[in-house]
Structure 1
Amino acid sequence: MASPILDLTKAPIKSYVYAKTNIGGWFFDAILQATHTSQLTITQHPVQSGSSISDYAYMQPRTLSLNIGMTDVAKSFIPGQFSGGSSRSVQAYQVLLQLQQMRIPVQVYTRLGLYQNMLVETLTVQDDNTTTHGLRCTVDLSELLVATVEVVKISANPAVTDSAKKGTQQPKQVPSSILQTLANLFNGKAS
């Protein structure tokens, strides 16, 4: 089987990729159910009054669960998709399995929004007498959080040096007149 990674900028995928639910440009016969999960994790510790609340809460990776349906008797929405195997339903499962095994983030479009950098986390298929000529599969996808880190060098010289010459340090004798003045201050006597 060819690579399941599709070019979303080529026709005819290009004209539908943002109009119909798809997983990386693969259009399934039916999306029976879509479950979208977006979760904010909030600290359980006390927060000081006046501090920035955004420092104490962060977004978890979004998850998406699609319950898809495929049949062997229909034609593909995009000509040529899911062809070349023993049946369309088996080929659709193979595509999903390859996307999962390759661990390459894909774009997923649904009616409620666009998801970038999604990985196929779990595939759940019930195969029984009702799916002899079809496929019913639950595809659980999770967002891969991507960050860009940049290191900025601010000086060619190190901030701290261990090789600084400090010289020889010698104790000095304090004159007796200063010692007597200090003793008087501590004893409550003024000079």
Structure 2
Amino acid sequence: MILDMITLVPKSIGSITIPVLIEEAHQDELQITEHPVEKGAEINDHAFKRQPEVVLKCGWSNSDLAALAGLAQSIFSGGGLPSADYISTVYSQLLALQELREPFDVVTSLRMYDSMLFKGLAVLKDQKTGAALSVTATLKQLRIVETQVTTLPPRENQADPAATAETQNTGVKAATPATPAPGGSVPPTSM
């Protein structure tokens, strides 16, 4: 498990690689009706799947291989020491990705999610995490749909146009008083 948190499965939030994934919590929820369901009815008509959520506790460090490679490249290219440290850059990238509000992919050790957005981004910074960035990212999947326009066949080509045709304007309808059944509250002679 420790080795998987660090190296085996390449994990990422968008294009940002996660070097250490401490914990991941996946949530798939079904929204079920509170209303009574008639016996024999299709149950799947009364429940729908909500968008999945995942909470990732992950970390980056200034001593990470990517940070050291960036430092070496900066030194050897004549740029000297970089002005910003690696974890500040990663944190800025995470904030920018959240601010962008564009869907992105998330890869964890269990599964890959597409069309995700940050629901929350929490950072823990204390005396123990001075050269590290400890992030709790709460991500939720967007439900993206495509709509299409279609036309119905002409009314005369339909077998039962009253049941299958487009709606027609049939004018204004007026309500007429109904006579209740015998024994009802309004006597039939009062009309």
Report the TM-score range of the alignment, normalised by the length of the smaller protein: 0.5 to 0.7
Structure (1 or 2) with the larger CA radius of gyration: 1
Number of residue pairs matched? 143
Higher helix share: 2
In the TM superposition, what are the counterparts of 1:20-169 in structure 2 within 5 Å?
A: 20-76=10-66, 86-155=84-153, 159-161=167-169
Partner of 2:161: none
1:74-103 Cα deviation digits (max 9, x unpaired): 2229x76xx976111111111110110000
Shift of 1:50: 1.3
Unmatched 5+ residue regions in structure 2?
1-8, 75-81, 156-165, 172-191
The Cα RMSD (Å) is 2.4
1:41-75 Cα deviation digits (max 9, x unpaired): 11111111111111100111110111111110122
Unmatched 5+ residue regions in structure 1?
1-18, 164-191
Amino acid aligned to 1:147: V
Amino acid aligned to 1:33: E
1:112-143 Cα deviation digits (max 9, x unpaired): 11111000111101111122211001011011
8 Å contact kept, 1:85–1:91:
no
Once superposed, which parts of structure 1, at least 4 consecutive aligned residues long, lie more than 6 Å away? Answer: none
Amino acid aligned to 1:67: K
TM-score for the superposition, normalised by structure 2: 0.67
Shift of 1:25: 2.9
Identity %: 27
Write the distance in 2 (CA, Å) between the matches of 1:99 and 1:66: 15
Amino acid aligned to 1:160: Q
Write the distance in 1 (CA, Å) between the matches of 2:89 and 2:154: 58
